[in-house]
């Protein structure tokens, strides 16, 4: 057994969470209770603490684009990404904010909501070709639309298109349905997992919800940080 941190003391989080600059990098940022629950009272917010919220903001600041599922957008009431004081100078020389890229088949959104009307970086919608044509037309008026796959979003093709737009540091904020497919497609390079000292029980999902992952990614523990009774684990793909 080893101590969690070989060198105790404060850490520079922006340095610790910097993405590799020489390649495309897809990070997921998730929180779970000790029993693996990914929701408390139907949302993720009740699982985290102030340090988790800080990290949530920081990883947004480090990203070129933030991928998120439509259910999370609806349940958590997502608006566009806004600059945060946690960012410090991490966006120096880059656009002020990363866009959200929302995964949806139904395109069941209020396109007059701030997510679409007040986004400093125009919101991107990731959807398959089978999306309803009228909703697709409405989406195109208020968002950049990426169509990939026929009946179901092809995550590999969608990520390729995001990368082609210059988004090389991709952050996935879930939810579990989306993250399950990102991992199944072999796209995940890093999982940042906040482990919350809560036992939730009941029927929440785990942080991946979907069919088995055909080839589990080969991850190694890049670091483990602690704040109060919370652990902040960073697992990265073995190089
Ligand atoms: N613990 C955590 O870190 C964490 C993080 C995020 C969210 N959450 C929680 O997890 C819950 C939401 O997660 P979730 O797993 O239910 O949903 P989700 O992954 O946020 O979103 C699922 C939605 O994404 C769209 N979608 C997913 N796969 C698709 C595909 N292949 N093609 C086209 N569209 C696709 C569909 O949208 P349409 O319905 O529009 O077609 C689907 O309903 C909430 O309770 C939230 O609070 C927890």
For 212, half-sphere exposure in the C-beta direction (CA atoms, 13 angstrom radius) is: 2
* Contact call for residues 52 and 230 (beta carbons, < 8 A): yes
Decide: 187 in ligand 1 pocket, CB within 6 A: no
The full set of domain ranges for the chain reads 23-237
Parts of the chain with a pLDDT under 70:
5-8
Decide: 48 in ligand 1 pocket, CB within 6 A: no
Residue nearest to atom 36 of ligand 1 (CA): 104
Beta bridge partners of 194: 31, 232
Whole-angstrom Cα distance, residue 183 to residue 155? Answer: 10
- Cis peptide upstream of residue 210 (ω within 30 degrees of 0): no
pLDDT for 1 equals: 76
Specify the CATH number of the domain 23-237: 3.40.430.10
CA of 153 to the centre of ligand 1 (A): 13
Decide: 207 in ligand 1 pocket, CB within 6 A: yes
Decide: 184 in ligand 1 pocket, CB within 6 A: no
Decide: 96 in ligand 1 pocket, CB within 6 A: no
pLDDT for 9 equals: 75
pLDDT digits (tens, 9 = 90+) for 135-176: 999 999 999 999 999 999 999 999 999 999 999 999 999 999
Give the three-state DSSP class for 209.
coil
Decide: 178 in ligand 1 pocket, CB within 6 A: yes
Region for residue 196 given its phi and psi (left: phi exceeds 0; alpha: psi -120 to 50; beta: otherwise): beta
pLDDT for 65 equals: 98
Region for residue 61 given its phi and psi (left: phi exceeds 0; alpha: psi -120 to 50; beta: otherwise): alpha
| Ligand 1 atom nearest 153 alpha carbon | 32
pLDDT for 7 equals: 66
CA of 204 to the centre of ligand 1 (A): 13
pLDDT for 45 equals: 85
Decide: 80 in ligand 1 pocket, CB within 6 A: no
Residue nearest to atom 24 of ligand 1 (CA): 69
pLDDT digits (tens, 9 = 90+) for 44-72: 989 999 999 999 999 999 999 999 999 99
Give the residue among 141, 152, 173 at the shortest CA–CA distance from 75.
173
User: Which residues neighbour 190 within 8 Å (Cβ) at sequence distance 6 or greater?
Assistant: 19, 25, 26, 27, 28, 219, 222, 234, 235, 236, 237
Whole-angstrom Cα distance, residue 223 to residue 190? Answer: 12
- Indicate the helix (H) or strand (E) that contains 101: strand 100-103
Kindly provide the b/e burial profile for residues 46-83, where b requires at least 16 CB atoms within 10 angstroms of the residue's own CB: ebbeebbebbbbbbbbbbbbbbbbbebbeebebebbee
| Ligand 1 atom nearest 29 alpha carbon | 3
Whole-angstrom Cα distance, residue 119 to residue 115? Answer: 6
CA of 42 to the centre of ligand 1 (A): 12
| Ligand 1 atom nearest 194 alpha carbon | 3
């Amino acid at each position: 057994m080893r101590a969690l941190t070989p060198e105790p003391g404060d850490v520079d989080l922006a340095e610790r969470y910097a993405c590799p600059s020489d390649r495309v990098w897809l990070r997921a940022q998730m929180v779970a209770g000790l029993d693996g629950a990914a929701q408390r009272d139907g949302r993720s917010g009740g699982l985290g603490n102030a340090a988790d919220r800080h990290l949530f903001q920081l990883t947004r600041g480090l990203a070129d684009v933030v991928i998120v599922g439509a259910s999370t957008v609806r349940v958590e009431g997502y608006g566009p990404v806004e600059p945060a004081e946690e960012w410090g100078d991490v966006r120096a020389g880059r656009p002020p904010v990363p866009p959200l890229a929302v995964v949806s088949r139904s395109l069941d959104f209020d396109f007059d909501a701030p997510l679409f009307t007040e986004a400093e970086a125009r919101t991107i919608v990731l959807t398959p070709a089978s999306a309803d044509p009228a909703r697709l037309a409405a989406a195109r008026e208020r968002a950049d639309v990426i169509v990939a796959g026929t009946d179901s979003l092809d995550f590999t093709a969608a990520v390729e298109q995001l990368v082609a737009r210059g988004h090389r540091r991709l952050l996935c904020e879930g939810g579990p349905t989306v993250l399950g497919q990102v991992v199944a497609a072999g796209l995940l390079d890093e999982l940042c997992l906040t482990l919350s000292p809560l036992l939730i029980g009941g029927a929440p999902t785990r942080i991946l919800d979907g069919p088995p992952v055909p080839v589990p990614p080969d991850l190694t523990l890049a670091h483990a940080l602690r704040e109060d009774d919370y652990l902040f684990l960073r697992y990265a793909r073995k190089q």
